[in-house]
């Protein structure tokens, strides 16, 4: 290759050049094949090179590649919104498109504030979120996230968001506490913060249904989200669930919160919505939220150039049709159960594996220096990065995370294979991961 001008994530070295994708594999310029066990960042939910999605994108681009939403809508945008509404629970039936999950969070926060303005509640200005949550890297999304190391360099630029403790049973439940009791206690933190700020001044509560990158596939404790919903309703604040990573079928239902029998007021989507074939995200809100704006000012005071991009919508529509037509939500449930079983069989008694957790095909292993005490490794060791480098050298792509416990301490490995992963591919993923664990762990 010639002179390099790309500003890569790391300035130390250029990453390998990917030249082709085939199903679960990515192939570099040397012809080496890598098993994509994490979908990049839980994005590639159909694997690489799906012909149906590629055909839909090509067909849309041949018709027209772009229209501004101030002038036109498109068939793809309308059809995708209808499909999303049909798959979403309750009255989540209005869809605002973005180009990423971070942008979806930004739009959701603005929509939530405007909802209260339309109702005459101009004093509502506070957003509550959770430590060790992650909602994106734009400034508003970063402010609503609790990832300490991501926030630190930009702290002076961030809006003030109140952060409460996460719902993280493995780390924060008492030894003799039942999952249900812990879930109730964790939810109480929201009530306490609302009362501290003043219920009449709170816009909404933002949380990932299943925490993704920061803590590694942490599901809510039983009853937690149900109590959160009750608290939000009691104080008239909006519940905003971030399902950019865990939604769009990743955990076996279109929205992960369906498994908790909870309907948020606003939910954000991304990643698996378009499976990486085009950048696309979405904000889905209830009829009440939409009608409040419609009856008031009549427009969301927000917009971006690539809202409802026709090729992006066409790609996402094709992805969601493949998931429906091939029965892949059921496959996620079956493959997820198999993956959990394989991980527990292989690592369940490992002295450096503290927890194996997740939902569907979003699973994680938390690494610890001492299993009985749950003591994390010294962060200087960067065990998650060691795991990534060793696995990559073996041809396995995993999604590592550091600062699992508090933004500084803790390491985990996240797995998010495609929804159409085969049993044989799951076996291969766990076998390769086992080789990495032997290589990097002391025990």
Domain with CATH 3.40.640.10 in the chain: 54-325
The pLDDT score that the predictor gives to residue 271 is 98
Q: State whether residue 62 is helix, strand or coil.
A: helix
Q: pTM for this one?
A: 0.97
Selection from 15, 65, 439 nearest residue 278 by Cα: 65
Give the model confidence (pLDDT) of 250-276 as tens digits.
Answer: 999 999 999 999 999 999 999 999 999
Q: What is the pLDDT of residue 1?
A: 56
Residue 343 belongs to what H/E stretch? helix 328-347
- For 18-49+327-440, CATH number out of 3.40.50.850, 3.40.50.300, 3.40.50.720, 3.90.1150.10 equals 3.90.1150.10
Note whether 220 and 260 are within 8 A (CB). Answer: yes
Phi/psi of residue 57, nearest 5 degrees: -65, -45
CA–CA gap between residue 359 and residue 365 (Å, rounded): 12
The residue length of the chain stands at: 443
Do residues 63 and 75 lie in contact, with contact meaning Cβ atoms separated by under 8 Å? Answer: no
pLDDT at 2 over 60: no
Average pLDDT, the chain: 97
Contact 271, 41 (CB under 8 A): yes
Residues with Cβ within 8 Å of 278's Cβ and at least 6 positions away in sequence, in order, are 57, 309, 311, 312, 315, 316
| pLDDT above 90 (res 147) | no
Distance CA 85, CA 93 (A): 4
SS (H, E, C) 22-59: EECEEEECCCCEEEECCHHHHCCCCCECCHHHHHHHHH
Specify the fold of 54-325. Answer: 3.40.640
CA distance to 14, 15, 199, 348, 399, per residue, from 9 (Å):
9, 9, 41, 34, 15
For residue 144, give every residue at least 6 positions away whose Cβ sits within 8 Å of its Cβ, in sequence order, or none.
105, 109, 127, 129, 133, 135, 161, 206
CB 397 within 8 A of CB 355: no
Distance (Å, whole) CA 426 – CA 409? 29
Q: What is the pLDDT of residue 146?
A: 85
User: Mean pLDDT across the stretch 65-87?
Assistant: 98
For 307-330, the pLDDT digits (tens) are 999 999 999 999 999 999 999 999
CATH 3.90.1150.10 residue window(s) in the chain: 18-49+327-440
Whether residue 240 is predicted with pLDDT greater than 60 in this model: the reply is yes
* pLDDT tens track for 160-198: 999 999 999 999 999 999 999 999 999 999 999 999 999
Residue range 273-295, pLDDT digits in tens = 999 999 999 999 999 999 999 99
Q: Is the dihedral of CA 305, 310, 311, 313 positive or negative?
A: positive
Which residues are 202's β-sheet partners? 126
Residue 3 is predicted with a pLDDT of 66
What does each C-alpha distance from 113 to 95, 268, 302 come to in angstroms?
17, 16, 12
Q: What is the pLDDT of residue 148?
A: 84
Cβ proximity of 168 and 131 under 8 Å:
no
Examine the pLDDT at 443 and tell me if it is beyond 90. no
CA distance 266 to 187: 19
What does the pLDDT average to over 54-82? 98
pLDDT at 60 exceeding the cut of 90? yes
Instruction: Determine the Cα–Cα distance for residues 313 and 398; give it in Å rounded to an integer.
Output: 28
pLDDT tier, 149 (very low <50, low <70, confident <90, very high otherwise): confident
In DSSP terms, 397 is beta-bridged to: 36
Cβ–Cβ < 8 Å for 246, 209:
yes
CB of 397 within 8 A of CB of 425? Answer: no
Neighbours of 420 (CB within 10 A): 19
Q: From its phi and psi, is residue 403 left (phi > 0), alpha (psi between -120 and 50) or beta?
A: left
Render pLDDT for 383-432 as a digit per residue (tens, 0 to 9).
999 999 999 999 999 999 999 999 999 999 999 999 999 999 999 999 99
Residue position matching structure tokens 């109480």: 188
Percent with pLDDT over 90 in the chain: 96
On whether the CB atoms of residues 280 and 81 are closer than 8 A, the answer is: no
């Amino acid at each position: 290759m010639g002179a390099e001008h790309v500003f890569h994530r790391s300035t130390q070295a250029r990453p390998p050049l990917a030249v082709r994708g085939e199903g679960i594999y990515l192939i570099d310029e040397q012809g080496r094949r890598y098993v994509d066990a994490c979908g990049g960042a839980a994005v590639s939910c159909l694997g690489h090179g799906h012909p149906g999605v590629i055909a839909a994108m090509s067909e849309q681009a041949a018709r027209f590649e772009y229209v501004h939403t101030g002038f036109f809508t498109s068939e793809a945008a309308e059809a995708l919104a209808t499909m999303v509404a049909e798959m979403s629970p309750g009255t989540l039936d209005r869809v605002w498109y973005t180009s990423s999950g971070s942008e979806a969070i930004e739009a959701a926060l603005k929509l939530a504030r405007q909802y209260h303005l339309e109702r005459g509640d101009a004093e509502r200005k506070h957003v509550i979120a959770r430590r060790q949550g992650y909602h994106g890297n734009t400034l508003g999304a970063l402010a609503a996230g609790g990832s300490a190391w991501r926030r630190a360099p930009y702290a002076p630029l961030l809006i003030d968001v109140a952060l409460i403790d996460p719902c993280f049973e493995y780390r924060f439940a008492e030894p003799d506490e039942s999952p249900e009791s812990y879930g109730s206690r964790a939810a109480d933190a929201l009530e306490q913060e609302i009362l501290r700020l003043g219920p009449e001044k709170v816009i909404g509560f933002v949380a990932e249904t299943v925490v993704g990158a920061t803590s590694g596939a942490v599901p809510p404790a039983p009853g937690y989200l149900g109590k959160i919903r009750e608290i939000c309703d009691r104080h008239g604040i909006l519940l905003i669930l971030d399902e950019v990573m865990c939604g769009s079928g990743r955990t076996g239902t279109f929205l992960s919160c369906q498994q908790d029998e909870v309907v948020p007021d606003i939910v954000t989507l991304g990643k698996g919505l378009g499976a990486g074939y085009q950048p696309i995200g979405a904000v889905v809100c209830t009829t009440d939220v939409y009608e409040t704006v419609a009856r008031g000012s009549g427009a969301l005071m927000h917009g971006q150039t690539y809202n409802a991009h026709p090729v992006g919508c066409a790609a996402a529509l094709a992805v969601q049709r493949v998931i429906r037509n091939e029965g892949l939500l059921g496959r996620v449930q079956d493959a997820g159960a198999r993956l959990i079983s394989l991980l527990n069989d292989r690592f369940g008694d490992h002295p450096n594996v503290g927890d194996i957790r997740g939902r569907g095909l979003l699973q994680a292993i938390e690494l610890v220096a001492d299993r009985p005490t749950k003591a994390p490794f010294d962060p200087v060791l960067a065990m998650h990065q060691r795991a990534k480098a060793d696995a990559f050298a073996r041809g396995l792509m995993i999604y590592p995370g550091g600062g699992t416990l508090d933004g500084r301490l803790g390491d985990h490995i996240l797995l998010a294979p495609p929804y159409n992963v085969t049993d044989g591919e799951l076996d291969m993923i766990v076998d390769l991961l086992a080789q990495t664990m032997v290589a990097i762990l002391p025990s």
